[in-house]
Amino acid sequence: MTDLPEDDRGVAPSIALYSILGFWFFYTIIVTLRAIVVGFDAQWEMAARRMVVAVIGIIVTWILYLALRRFDYKPLAVRFVAAFSLAAPFALAMAAANYYIFNVYDPISLFPDAEMKKKAIEEGYVLISIVEDAMTRYFFLAAWAGLYLALSYASEAHRTERRAARLERAAQQAELRSLRYQVNPHFLFNTLNSLSTLVMRNKPDDAEQMIMSLSNFYRTSLTGDPLDDVPLEEEVHLQKLYLDIEAVRFPDRLSTVIDIPPALMNACVPGLILQPLVENAIKYGVSRTSSPVTITITAREDGDLIHIAVTDDGDNPPSDADAGSGIGLVNVRDRLTARFGDQGRIVYGPREGDGFSVLLTLPIIRRGC
């Protein structure tokens, strides 16, 4: 049988040992103080024997810990029964050891009184003394067993939380990969349609230029992990490659303006997060009109946030009838939510005058991409 991973083990031996040492340390201190207050004779001799009993107690409790570990993955009720049942024989063993150390081994130095010495060796007294002491020590060991159960439960709860966190991260990563992988096929489908149009119009030079631009785009976009963020500069470069492709289709209608402060170029953004926005600007802003259209990509810093806008000034922006025709803005919203939670937002709508605007808001991250 293979060893369990560290996260799947019960209470760590070091924690169990510290708890055992702590219990017996305080027990020894309290019993010693009681002996001083009562005024027993032979205090030093009793203290030395008490230390021996404490060492035996530590060993016995450690064996109890090893026994309880076997029940770590049983139902809670079984663990309770095991803890408070196993404490009984261990308490009896401790009481017997204590009786031997104090009453059998060299009792003369502890019991100078002849009557006490006689009583100490009587058979009935031995049994009664051990049983009474065992009851006291049972509650002591049961208290430690209760602490062990609490530690075990806390450890189990912590493991459950960590597993849930790992599952949540895995689900989030799977969602991010899925959303990212939606972008490339969608973009490729649109580009191949454009390429087919150029071939049908007998424009081989333009088709060849588009193929080269498409090759450069995919060479750049497919090198990174879908879960990795990229610098804004790299994301903007990808959009330039894409706009170069579309410029072949619309040489007289499409112009581009990029206005991003150099200080924001190293900000991290999800890869291809701008792709659907630029595609929509082409689809609705450029292809629907015969007039020149300018697509503008801007970014500005606002405290701990960065606002990235993609706008166009086309005269036929998308309407309610266009809703749901593709992955577009829904994909971007889902990716921002999966990656940044409430800090990732998207706002879009028609501009005053002509055109359409999409504004992304996300936290500024300058490391890790």
The set of residues, in sequence order, having a beta carbon less than 8 Å from that of 351 and lying 6+ positions away, is: 311, 313, 317, 357
**pLDDT at 8 exceeding the cut of 80:** no
pLDDT band of 37, cuts 50, 70, 90: confident
More confident residue, 178 or 128: 128
pLDDT tens digit sequence for 274-317: 988 998 898 888 888 888 999 999 999 999 999 999 999 988 77
pTM of the predicted model as reported, rounded to 2 decimal places: 0.53
Amino acid identity for residue 141 in this structure: L
Compute CA distances 311 → 259, 274, 286, 314, whole Å: 12, 11, 12, 9
More confident residue, 369 or 278: 278
Q: What is the pLDDT of residues 75-107, one digit of tens each?
A: 888 888 888 888 899 989 888 888 887 777 665
Which of 60-64, 199-203, 358-362 tops mean pLDDT? 358-362
pLDDT tens column, 19-32: 889 888 888 888 88
Average pLDDT, the chain: 80
pLDDT given for residue 4 in this prediction: 41
Q: What is the pLDDT of residue 227?
A: 67
Q: Just give the CATH number of 185-363.
A: 3.30.565.10
Least confident of 22-26, 77-81, 173-177, 202-206: 173-177
**For 216-265, what is each residue's pLDDT tens digit?**
777 766 666 666 788 999 999 889 988 888 888 788 899 999 999 999 99
Q: Which residue has the higher pLDDT, 13 or 324?
A: 13
pLDDT higher than threshold 50 for residue 192:
yes
User: Could you write out the DSSP letters of every residue in 158-193?
Assistant: HHHHHHHHHHHHHHHHHHHHHHHHHHHHHHHHHHHH
Rounded Cα gap, residues 220 and 235, in angstroms: 10
Residue (of 314, 323, 322) closest to 353 by Cα position: 314
Whose structure tokens read 């060796």?
121
Residue 337, Cβ density class (10 Å: 0-12 exposed, 13-18 middle, ≥19 buried): middle
Residues 6+ apart with CB under 8 A from 326: 186, 276
Across 101-115, 168-182, 292-306, which has the greatest mean pLDDT?
A: 292-306
Of all residues in the chain, the percent with pLDDT exceeding 90 is 18
Q: What is the dihedral sign for C-alpha 42, 48, 49, 51?
A: positive
Q: In this structure, how many other beta carbons lie within 10 angstroms of the beta carbon of residue 285?
A: 27
C-alpha distance from residue 158 to each of 161, 162, 164, 268 (Å): 5, 6, 10, 32
Structure tokens at 96: 């017997």
CA distances from 86 to 14, 63, 145, 153 (A): 21, 10, 9, 18
221 burial type by CB count under 10 A (0-12 exposed, 13-18 middle, 19+ buried): buried
Q: Distance between CA 60 and CA 86 in Å, rounded?
A: 11
Q: Give domain limits for the chain.
A: 13-179, 185-363
